[in-house]
């Protein structure tokens, strides 16, 4: 598999990847691994303690595994953090927000902030403080500035650690592989615009929600944009050959990947087709089942 192809191998490459339970990635950033490894979370969700003081920000919370709380507490000790100042979330997918309640149960009430989303936030009982594009969250030694970056999820925020130009990308840019753009709640056009916006920030390093940190942030973001455009070209080429259903397109352009990942790949292909449809470049006629449309070039 070439390195270019590997950009599309997200879940396959992430399977089995090992990361330490806790680690220091900068003077202001300590990681605590969410203990939720899997095909789509890789080694698990990276949660981050941010700051230099005795009270620090926790960015993301994993999905609520019992094993996570002792790891978080060890990471706090390692970071010199006696208490959490507050919890901040990149977005409302369960592997980011799912650990909040157990942390509140253990540590007492804390402010929990994110960009609200009625669908993603509905299952949770704790109050959510609203964040929006341009928000600033400060703690001793660190300033986080939030950027609304929809595409992977409508409520997604990335956070720039201003003191060191480190970018917490959530699920928009990962430490290995690529992210999934869900066919229903995702939006590939938005996603590409979000990547361009992140690139314009000219970040130095990426602290992703899954996988290791990325040292050359701009090169990685450019690689992500190029990868999506390459996939789009492959989809258009398949349509040109008369392959008109998502399942057939996936079989061609994801031939190198295990079939267990084809359903997820189908989500991304559908997201591409919807983007192309919005641009007037393809159109669909209904298939026999929902989600089984026949697509053609315009
Ligand atoms: Zn996500």
pLDDT of 5: 31
For residue 204, give the 3-state DSSP assignment. coil
pLDDT mean values, one per 10 residues, the chain (298 residues)? 32 68 98 92 95 98 97 98 98 98 98 97 97 98 98 97 98 91 91 98 98 96 96 96 95 90 90 94 85 89
DSSP 214: B
- At 121-171, the pLDDT tens digits run 999 999 999 999 999 999 999 999 999 999 999 999 999 999 999 999 999
Q: Give whole-number Cα distances, 126 to 15, 107, 129, in Å.
A: 32, 14, 10
Q: Which domains does the chain have, with CATH numbers?
A: 3-227 (3.60.15.10), 229-297 (1.10.10.10)
CA–centroid distance, residue 45 to ligand 1 (Å): 10
pLDDT of 9: 36
pLDDT of 17: 77
Q: 249 near 235, Cβ under 8 Å?
A: yes
CA–centroid distance, residue 211 to ligand 1 (Å): 13
pLDDT of 107: 97
CA–centroid distance, residue 170 to ligand 1 (Å): 7
Q: 190 near 271, Cβ under 8 Å?
A: no
CA–centroid distance, residue 86 to ligand 1 (Å): 21
CA–centroid distance, residue 25 to ligand 1 (Å): 22
Sign of CA dihedral 15, 18, 20, 25: negative
CA–centroid distance, residue 241 to ligand 1 (Å): 33
Q: Give whole-number Cα distances, 236 to 10, 57, 63, 176, in Å.
A: 22, 44, 37, 26
CA–centroid distance, residue 87 to ligand 1 (Å): 17
CA–centroid distance, residue 262 to ligand 1 (Å): 18
Quote the CA–CA distance of 283 and 54 in Å, as a whole number: 56
pTM score over 0.75 = yes
At residue 271, what are phi and psi to the nearest 5 degrees? Answer: -60, -40
CA–centroid distance, residue 36 to ligand 1 (Å): 13
Quote the CA–CA distance of 118 and 70 in Å, as a whole number: 31
Token representation of residue 172? 């928009």
């Amino acid at each position: 598999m070439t390195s270019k192809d590997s950009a599309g191998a997200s879940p396959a490459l992430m399977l089995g990847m090992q990361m330490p339970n806790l680690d220091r990635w900068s003077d202001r950033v300590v990681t605590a691994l969410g203990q939720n490894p899997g095909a789509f979370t890789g080694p698990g969700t990276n949660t981050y303690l941010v700051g230099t003081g005795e009270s620090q920000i926790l960015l993301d919370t994993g999905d609520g595994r019992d094993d996570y709380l002792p790891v978080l507490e060890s990471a706090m000790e390692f970071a010199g953090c006696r208490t959490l100042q507050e919890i901040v979330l990149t977005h409302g997918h369960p592997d980011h927000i799912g650990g909040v309640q157990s942390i509140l149960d253990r540590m007492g009430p804390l402010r929990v902030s994110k960009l609200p989303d009625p669908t993603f936030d509905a299952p949770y009982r704790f109050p959510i403080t609203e964040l929006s594009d341009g928000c600033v969250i400060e703690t001793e030694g660190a300033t986080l500035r939030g950027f609304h970056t929809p595409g992977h999820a409508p409520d997604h925020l990335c956070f720039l650690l201003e003191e060191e130009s480190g970018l917490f990308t959530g699920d928009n840019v990962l430490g290995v592989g690529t992210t999934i753009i869900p066919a229903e709640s995702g939006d590939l056009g938005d996603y590409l615009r979000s990547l361009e916006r992140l690139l314009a920030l000219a970040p130095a390093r990426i602290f992703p929600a899954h996988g290791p940190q990325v040292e050359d942030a701009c090169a990685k973001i450019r690689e992500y944009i190029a990868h999506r455009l390459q996939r789009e070209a492959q989809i258009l080429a398949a349509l040109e050959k008369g392959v008109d259903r998502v399942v057939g397109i996936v079989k061609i352009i994801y031939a190198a990947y295990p079939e267990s990942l084809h359903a997820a790949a189908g989500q991304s292909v559908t997201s591409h087709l919807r983007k192309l449809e919005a641009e007037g470049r393809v159109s669909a006629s209904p298939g026999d089942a929902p989600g089984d449309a026949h697509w053609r070039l315009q």
